[in-house]
Amino acid sequence: MPFNLLVLFCLCYVAMLFCVAFLAERRAAEGRVRWLRSPAIYTLSLSIYCTAWTFYGAVGYAARSGLEFVTIYLGPTLVFVGWWWVLRKLVRIGRQQRVTSIADLISSRFGKSNILGVVVTLIAVIAATPYIALQLQSVTLSFAVFASGTPEGWALPNRDATAIWVAGGLALFTILFGTRNLDAKEQHHGVVLAIAVEAVVKLVALLAVGIFVVWGIAGGAQEVFARIDATQAAGWTLQPDRWIGMIAVSGAAVICLPRMFQVMVVEGGEDRHLALASWAFPAYLLLMSLFIVPIAVIGLERMPAGSNPDMFVLTLPLAEGQGGLALLAFLGGFSSATSMVIVESIALATMVSNHIVMPLWLRLAPKAAMKGDVRRIVLLARRLSIVGVLGLGYAYYRMSGGSAALAAMGLIAFAGMAQVLPVLLGGIFWRGATKAGAVAGLVTGFAVWAFTLLLPFFGPGTLLPQAVFDHGLFGLGWLRPQALFGIAGMDPLVHAIFWSAVLNTAAFCAGSLLTFPGPVERMQGAAFVNVFDADAAGPQGWARGRAEPEALLMMAQRILGEEPALALFEAEARAQGKAGYLPDATPDFVAGLERRLAGSVGAATAHAMISQIVGRATVSVEDLMAVANETAQIMEYSAQLEAQREELSRTAGALREANEKLTQLSVQKDAFLSQISHELRTPMTSIRAFSEVLTEGDLPPELVANYGRIIHDEAIRLTRLLDDLLDLSVLENGSVQLNLSLVNLQQLLDRALAAASHTRPERSFTVIRDLPAENLFLRTDGDRLVQVFINLVSNARKYCDAASPALTISVRQRAGRVHVDFTDNGTGIAKQHQAIIFEKFARLSDQHRAGGAGLGLAICREVMANLGGQVSYLPGRGGASFRVTLPLRIGRQAA
Amino acid sequence: MAHVVLVEDEPNIAEAIRFILSRDGCTVTALSDGMGGIEQLRSLGPDLVILDLMLPGISGLELLAAIRADRGLRGVPVMMLTAKGQGRDREAALQAGVNHFMTKPFSNTEMLAAVRGLVARRGAG
């Protein structure tokens, strides 16, 4: 067929697909998605698993390695039949968490970790690159086989040029299909429908070729079986290790491949979809594989030796002169390749832009991200990512020389993407799985895969030097890429699958066991593992739920208080025209109530509480985190209140204390005033009485003299009382001016004894002193100290009741302080009085002998306090004994 | 001739009262405290008792109560002196049955008039 016609034909086919997609998008935009979301479409879209590799490569695989190609179909079949419950969980999680890609799912599961998103994206891109190259290669090959020069003499372009045209065309087509608009859920109804159409095309094409080969060429099924038996005898052997490894790896791939995840979880995903797909998709695979062996066997028989078995599907009809059938086969292959490339690029572009480009852009230009039109940036990132992904595929195609077998390249991609499976399964079934474990497992598995499978694929000396193959990495013998840990002799593919799976899983488990998940991780883990516990959530808004007005009222009363809640409900009931206080729980009312509650308990808590009552128990992690934040704020607030309350009670305590003190002071003041009154009135009484007597005249002179003396004495007594009161008030106020100087203690005592010697009654009084000890210098107010000494000495003179009174003055120095003890030989002070002798007016005996106002010791106490010392009574010393203690050198602050 | 018993711990005040009352013709027995007790007072047979409120040992109020409780002394008028001048003391004294309450310092004529009045009432009764 002339290649220009073929190109035109392809373009028409693509345009037709584009129209299908466009119409589907239009229907979806109008909200008529029911038909588009039917289980049949879902199942057909899953056929994206069957790429050009399956379409062309399986025949080649069968021709080269016999029945082994069946493993590629057995893996997915086993998964859909036996593991449908895993798929159901994945699909449910995907819907509930609004997952956009497999990278998003893993990152979301492990605490929205960006690192994991990047790691999974990189693995996906690297693993998908050979796969995309495979599609380019198959289209290029089929084009080369099918097209011929034009009658006008246009030469057929060479393969590299074809490949780049194909890559460019697919990129353009993908951009047109997949990034026309931006949808938060990353669903593309148009693309899915186009894929479904392509699924039918490739199935019909392959079946048609198969039927033609069996009944058209071979002459019936019986004939074919006979020929197959003959070929098998020629050495098609089963290798159990390869079978197990490939079934496992293709089973893993059907879950983890970005495009499979896209159609299975992101685009669709309802339980009814899976119910059909669990048998219909294996059936589709069965039909796709039905005629592989006959085509391979007949092809090997009929086609000339050396022809590429990968192209038998195309070349057999051509050789038999069936141009129309060949065109259909070409279309089937083209469909397989394009659908795979489109969906794979969309899935990868979503990952790259969401997990690599956007985070980078947000970090580099945060300001622009805040205000600019992000949608434009995202679309640009997607389109560039698509171009990048296809560019990588093309580069790989050029590097691999465009000659490798299709199946081998596909298997590398399968094994690479399978590295995500342990983390994926652990993430949805094991709550103990942690981010650190996931990173460790993914990186280990990816590294082992790259070292043992991807890099060696290019052959020694290309990406890995020959030395590494022979002697291991860094010359370590146990690090040979195809004989890790010295275990040689395994099939390279099985070797790579085995070690990457074992080391990946081990690193993942060890990392998870050794680390603890963060709070978001913990919650996401619970949400993923227990996805079925949370009831299915409807769309936003309260319309779907059934709320009991009574339950709402009870909750509102708990939060708003009984009266306000009742008033709110009554008003609503009136507005609805209902009697009583229970309105219908209309969506508007529930939303209004939520806003009202949010004012009291915070938006997240209000939403969670309403969700509980309306029956939508789904509380997202964000909700929970917000609730936790609000709770923390409330706790902080109540802690502040508690602190304020404590402060208040402290203040109240202080006030109470101050009040008690004031009351006490007031009582003391009253008693003091009463005492003063008494002390003043007593001498006044004598003075007034005698002065009246004297003014009357006609008294004998001796009486006049006597009464005059009494008046004089009482006047002096009054003066002394007033002096003492004034002194005491100055001392107590602390406003006393100290006259500090260096003074000799002995001299001070001399002065005090001399001053006190006139105290009446005058009688013989012995003073015993310790002159050497007294001879020391003090820095203090000498006059004030003498005042204290005089008081103590005269007290002794007045009150000592011994027959021959004696006063002993002893001086001792201790630790920078001086003790001066005044001890007489009388009976001393009775125990019950010792406590009050320093109080004002605490005169114990009859006051005439004392002759003072009763303020002496009170003044002594105040003076000593001012001098930084004290005066105290020493009990049990025989007679009355007072001790004066003061510092040797008075400090500044004490003054 | 009236016999006045004075219980006053301030010797100068006691001397002043003694002088004033003696000059008016009273017989004055001055005691510096009430430690002698009710027997001593009864033995003195006073026509009038003058008590200081604040006395060492037994207070004036206690002595007054004892006088009012004594069969022999019950009718004897009692004058109370105080230097404290607080309303509370006056009330307590009146309640205990004092006949006259006088605040120190006092004028001599006032004191004399009060004593005369009390003695006269006693004489009349």
Provide the ipTM. Answer: 0.92
Q: Among A285, A313, A284, which Cα is nearest to A298's? A: A313
Q: Among A406, A202, A204, A227, which Cα is nearest to A302's? A: A227
Query: How much helix, strand and coil, in percent to the nearest 5, is found in chain B?
Result: 45, 20, 35
Radius of gyration of chain A (CA): 53
Q: At residue A850, does pLDDT exceed 70?
A: no
Q: Among A123, A135, A116, A225, which Cα is nearest to A174's? A: A135
Q: From the CA of B68, how many Å to the nearest CA of chain A?
A: 26
Q: Which residues pair with B82 in a beta bridge?
A: B103
Among A682, A710, A713, beta carbon nearest to B104: A682
CA distance B51 to B74: 15
Q: At residue B48, does pLDDT exceed 90?
A: yes
Per-residue b or e along A401-423, where b marks 16 or more CB atoms closer than 10 Å to that residue's CB: ebebbbbbbbbbbbbbbbbbbbb
Q: Mean pLDDT over all residues of chain A?
A: 78
Q: At residue A403, does pLDDT exceed 80?
A: no
In terms of Cβ atoms closer than 10 Å to its own Cβ (0-12, 13-18, 19+), residue A683 is buried
pLDDT recorded at residue A754: 86
Q: What's the pLDDT tens digit per position in A49-96? A: 887 777 887 887 777 777 777 888 888 888 888 887 888 888 888 777
Taking an 8 Å cut-off on Cβ atoms, the answer to whether B84 and A688 are in contact is no
Q: At residue A511, does pLDDT exceed 50?
A: yes
Locate the chain B residue with the closest alpha carbon to A851.
B10
Q: At residue B121, does pLDDT exceed 90?
A: no
pLDDT band at A623 (very low <50, low <70, confident <90, very high): low
State residue A273 phi and psi, 5-degree precision.
-60, -50
Q: Name residue A528's amino acid.
A: F
Among B9, B83, B84, beta carbon nearest to A685: B83
Q: What's the pLDDT tens digit per position in A640-652? A: 888 888 889 999 9
Q: From the CA of B89, how many Å to the nearest CA of chain A?
A: 11
Among B11, B19, B105, beta carbon nearest to A684: B105
Residue with tokens 């005492």: A675
Q: At residue B78, does pLDDT exceed 90?
A: yes
Percent of chain B with pLDDT over 70: 96
Q: What's the pLDDT tens digit per position in A717-745? A: 888 888 888 888 888 887 788 888 889 99
pLDDT recorded at residue A233: 43
A480 — alpha (psi -120 to 50), left (phi > 0) or beta? beta
Domain B3-124 belongs in CATH node 3.30.565.10: no
Taking an 8 Å cut-off on Cβ atoms, the answer to whether B84 and A678 are in contact is yes
CA distance A453 to A111: 31
Q: At residue A330, does pLDDT exceed 80?
A: yes
Taking an 8 Å cut-off on Cβ atoms, the answer to whether A686 and B13 are in contact is yes
In terms of Cβ atoms closer than 10 Å to its own Cβ (0-12, 13-18, 19+), residue A158 is exposed
Least confident of A294-303, B77-86, B110-119: A294-303
Q: At residue A44, does pLDDT exceed 90?
A: no
Q: From the CA of B88, how many Å to the nearest CA of chain A?
A: 11
CA distance B14 to A324: 156
The arithmetic mean of pLDDT across residues A200-225, rounded, is 81
What are the residue boundaries of the structural domains of chain A, listed by start? 3-148+159-400, 549-619, 628-709, 738-887
Q: At residue A540, does pLDDT exceed 80?
A: no
Q: What are the chain B neighbours of A686 within 8 Å (beta carbons)?
A: 10, 12-13, 16
pLDDT recorded at residue A407: 61
CA-CA distances (angstroms) from residue B120 to A435, A651, A756, B30, B33? Answer: 117, 65, 51, 21, 26
* DSSP assignment string, A208-274: HHHHIIIIIII-SHHHHHHHHHHHHHTT----HHHHHHHHHHHHHHHHHSHHHHIIIIII---HHHH
pLDDT recorded at residue A661: 87
CA distance A549 to A566: 12
Residues 670-689 of A with CB under 8 A from B: 674, 677-678, 681-682, 684-689
* DSSP assignment string, A803-830: SS-EEEEEEEEETTEEEEEEEESS----
CB proximity B43 to A under 8 Å: no
Cis-peptide into A683, omega within 30 deg: no
Chain A contact probe: residue of B17, B23, B59, B104 with most A CBs at under 10 A: B104
Cis-peptide into A761, omega within 30 deg: yes
Q: At residue A463, does pLDDT exceed 80?
A: no
pLDDT recorded at residue A31: 67
Per-residue b or e along A534-562, where b marks 16 or more CB atoms closer than 10 Å to that residue's CB: beeeeeeebeebebebeebbebbbebbee
CA distance B49 to A784: 47
Taking an 8 Å cut-off on Cβ atoms, the answer to whether B17 and A689 are in contact is yes
pLDDT band at A182 (very low <50, low <70, confident <90, very high): low
Relative to beta strand A806-814, strand A817-824 is: antiparallel
Q: Among A423, A348, A434, which Cα is nearest to A391's? A: A348
Highest average pLDDT, of A581-585, A719-723, B20-24, comes from B20-24
What are the residue boundaries of the structural domains of chain B, listed by start? 3-124
pLDDT recorded at residue A469: 64
Taking an 8 Å cut-off on Cβ atoms, the answer to whether A681 and B54 are in contact is no
CB proximity B84 to A under 8 Å: yes
CA distance A596 to B52: 82
Neighbours of A667 (CB within 10 A): 10
Least confident of A751-765, A860-874, B2-16: A751-765
Fold of A3-148+159-400: Sodium/glucose cotransporter (1.20.1730)
Q: What's the pLDDT tens digit per position in A855-879? A: 888 889 889 988 889 999 988 888 8
3-class SS at A148?
strand
CA distance A685 to A693: 12
pLDDT band at A849 (very low <50, low <70, confident <90, very high): very low
pLDDT recorded at residue B50: 93
CA distance A94 to A374: 24
pLDDT recorded at residue B21: 92
3-class SS at A875?
coil
Locate the chain A residue with the closest alpha carbon to B15.
A686
Give the CA angle between residues A848, A852, A853 to the nearest 5°. 110
Q: Among A402, A401, A418, which Cα is nearest to A453's? A: A418
Q: At residue B85, does pLDDT exceed 60?
A: yes
Q: At residue A259, does pLDDT exceed 80?
A: yes
DSSP state, A740? -
CA distance A283 to A314: 24
Higher pLDDT, A537 or A572: A572
Q: At residue A152, does pLDDT exceed 70?
A: no
As given in the structure block, the two tokens for residue A388 are 């990048």
pLDDT band at A895 (very low <50, low <70, confident <90, very high): very low
Higher pLDDT, A845 or A766: A766
* DSSP assignment string, A327-392: HHHHHHHHHHHHHHHHHHHHHHHHHHIIIIIHHHHHHH-HHHHHHS-HHHHHHHHHHHHHHHHHHH
CA distance A304 to A292: 19
User: Is the distance from CB of A110 to CB of A433 less than 8 angstroms?
Assistant: yes
Q: At residue A294, does pLDDT exceed 50?
A: yes
Relative to beta strand A806-814, strand A766-769 is: parallel
Percent of chain A with pLDDT over 70: 80
Length of chain A counted residue by residue: 895
Q: At residue A476, does pLDDT exceed 90?
A: no
**A738-887 CATH, one of 3.30.1330.10, 3.30.470.20, 3.30.565.10, 2.60.15.10:** 3.30.565.10
Q: Among A503, A343, A500, A507, which Cα is nearest to A415's? A: A500
Q: Which ranges of A480-601 does DSSP label H, i.e. alpha helix?
A: 492-514, 519-529, 549-560, 562-575, 587-601
Kind and range of the H or E run holding B80: strand B78-82
pLDDT band at A322 (very low <50, low <70, confident <90, very high): confident
CA-CA distances (angstroms) from residue A385 to A125, A351, A377, A821, B32? Answer: 10, 9, 12, 102, 122
User: Is the distance from CB of A150 to CB of A1 less than 8 angstroms?
Assistant: no
Higher pLDDT, A218 or A502: A502
CA distance A771 to A186: 109
User: Is the distance from CB of A508 to CB of A426 less than 8 angstroms?
Assistant: yes
Taking an 8 Å cut-off on Cβ atoms, the answer to whether B9 and A846 are in contact is yes
pLDDT recorded at residue A188: 73
Least confident of A98-112, A171-185, A763-777: A171-185
CA-CA distances (angstroms) from residue A13 to A6, A138, A146, A331, A737? Answer: 10, 18, 16, 8, 115
CA distance A757 to A807: 12
Kind and range of the H or E run holding A628: helix A621-695
Length of chain B counted residue by residue: 125
Locate the chain A residue with the closest alpha carbon to B8.
A682
Q: At residue A269, does pLDDT exceed 70?
A: no
Those residues with Cβ within 8 angstroms of residue A567's Cβ, 6 or more apart along the chain or in another chain: none
Q: At residue B49, does pLDDT exceed 60?
A: yes
pLDDT band at A133 (very low <50, low <70, confident <90, very high): confident
